[in-house]
Amino acid sequence: MKVAIIGSGIGGICSAIRLKRKGFDVDVFEKNEFPGGKLSTFKLGDFRFDAGPSLFTMPHLVDELFSICDENPRNFFNYKKKKIHCKYFWNDGKKFTAYSDKNKFFNEVEKEFNISGQVVKKYLNKAQIKYNLTEKIFLNKSLHKLSTYLNIDTIKALFRINFFQINKTLNKVNQDELKNKYLVQIFNRYATYNGSSPYKTPGMMSLIQHLENHYGTYIPVGGMHEIAKSLYKLANKIGVKFNFNSEITKLKVDNKKIKYIEINNKKRIEADYVISNVDTHHFYDKLLGNEISHSSLKSERSSSAVIFYWCMKNTNTDLDLHNIFFASDYKSEFKSIFEKKELYNDPTIYVNITSKDVKSDAPKNSENWFVMVNAPHNVNQSWDSEIKILKKNIIGKLEKILKININDNLIKEKIYSPLDLDKNTNSYLGSLYGTSSNDMFSSFLRHPNFSRKLKNVFFCGGSVHPGGGIPLCILSSKIISELIEN
């Protein structure tokens, strides 16, 4: 049986691998000339940058794909565990290093925040219990199938429903349990992992912290794009066919099925199953032409981002791979993003520097800075003028905290806005994760991995269940492979 996959993002490639192993004839159609979707790379002179996702955790999910193909992952893909998760900076001069070693992390909490490490340990243990109770339901199964709920794991979870704290916001949970304002802000930031606000997303989302703190953070040898590159190589080896420069322009529906897909407005391909690895809004609006719709499309869109790729002279010993410079008023920042739909004047800044670990990513005595701030999705803001102001605010903030002159060190830059995200990746309104999770029922309202209206259509990637980010996109492919039977 033939499968056509629309898009070669991480979810699409992983779905292709799993379905090929089940005996399907798999074709992947990609509008770009390279695989990976947001997980791509580019160069500015002698500086290499990962264009999109910069956090790598749960590497066993990638290794598993090689193992099910009877291949040694180390022959394709390698990575190393980071000793430091992230370095945090505040406007008042406070600094904190989040170590991967648990005891070192708890000791640092006590030293910097004058609060017992046991407070954070208790919090993380609770997050782990939430994860263990919900993993088989929320992450490994489709939430939209009745069979998901007819098992002992669901019954166990329902008996502890209050433990999930879905009636509290993540911020409220963090305030109640962590007390310290710096710690609250550190653990509030995890809401941005799915494009949401900690002041709206439910307390259940504290389980995200468990993933990073339990599994650790990693850096692939060669950079983040090596994840997509190695999986693409594996897919090719087992016989998946990739068709680049092949944009899907139309889907023809007949008798509640996709009859054929149209490529570049001319070529037509028939398939037994069609898998969408594109933003769900693009799928329904552009490919189906609103012939069929879905209720999830009406949900609030997630946040977006503005990214500055900076080629920097000199090196900074205060910084590591992952660095966060917090806003003084975090609540106002999220209000600005989600309510006012504006860039905040004192933004939280994320600086990722892969050349700290991948030395070839920048010339000697230089660094490649991936500088990102959370932004509203596109509602026709004056992005050019707003980004000019944003850049000035970012430079002023970083110079004050790091005591360096940014402009003197900045050699070259590239800027990426929500408009670019929409144009280059078909992410509707430039939202990074499809819909936000700013609702206690958002997990259930997220688009499912299958269609009730089209019998042969399935969905993977960051805009559908279980969510955005590399691990969840990989898990979406696993869910699909279990839903489709040859």
- Residue 149 is predicted with a pLDDT of 45
Mean pLDDT of 95-119: 95
Mean per-residue pLDDT of the chain: 91
pLDDT confidence band for 300 (50 / 70 / 90)? confident
- Domains located in the chain, CATH noted: 2-39+226-300+433-483 (3.50.50.60), 103-210 (no CATH)
Quick one: what percent of the chain has pLDDT higher than 70?
92
Which of 275 and 153 is assigned the larger pLDDT? 275
Distance CA 385, CA 332 (A): 21
Which of 212 and 2 is assigned the larger pLDDT? 2
pTM of the model: 0.93
Hunting for tokens 């992410």 — which residue is that? 427
| Sign of the dihedral defined by the CA atoms of residues 396, 400, 405, 411, in that order | negative
- Residue 214 is predicted with a pLDDT of 87
Mean pLDDT of 91-98: 97
Cis preceding linkage at 466, omega within 30: yes
Write the pLDDT tens digit of every residue in 191-235.
Answer: 998 889 999 988 877 778 888 888 999 999 999 999 999 999 999
For 343-405, the DSSP string reads --SS--EEEE-GGGT-GGGS-TTEEEEEEEEEEPPPSS--HHHHHHHHHHHHHHHHHHHH---
Integer CA distances (angstroms), 432 to 304, 335, 435, 462, in order: 5, 18, 9, 8
Write the pLDDT tens digit of every residue in 267-281.
Answer: 999 999 999 999 999
- Residue 137 is predicted with a pLDDT of 65
287 contacts: CB under 8 Å, gap ≥ 6: 6, 248, 249, 250, 251, 276, 278
In contact, 10 and 476? CB cutoff 8 Å: no
Write the pLDDT tens digit of every residue in 337-373.
Answer: 999 999 999 999 999 999 999 999 999 999 999 999 9
Per-residue pLDDT for 160 more than 60?
A: no
Write the pLDDT tens digit of every residue in 128-151.
Answer: 887 877 777 676 666 655 455 455
Select from 396, 397, 344 the least CA-distant residue to 375. 344
- Residue 159 is predicted with a pLDDT of 46
- Residue 293 is predicted with a pLDDT of 72
Per-residue pLDDT for 97 more than 90?
A: yes
Which of 141 and 316 is assigned the larger pLDDT? 316
